[in-house]
Homo-oligomer: A and B are copies of this chain.
Amino acid sequence: MDPLQRLVDLEELRNLKASYFYYLDTKDWESWLNLFTRDATLQWDNAPSIGGRDGQASQKYVGIDQIREHVAYGILHPAQTVHQGHTPILELTSENTATGIWAMEDIVTSANRVLHAFGHYRETYRKVDGKWKIASLYLTRLRVTTTHS
Contacts and interface: CB of A to CB of B under 8 A. Distances in A.
A19 interface: yes
A78 to B, nearest CB: 13
Q: State how many copies of this chain the complex holds.
A: 3
A93 interface: no
B87 A85 contact: yes
A74 interface: no
**Number of chain A interface residues as a range:** 35 or more
A63 interface: no
Interface of A: 3-4, 7-8, 10-11, 14-15, 17-19, 21-22, 25-27, 48, 50-51, 80-82, 84-90, 101, 103, 105, 107, 109, 118, 120, 142-143
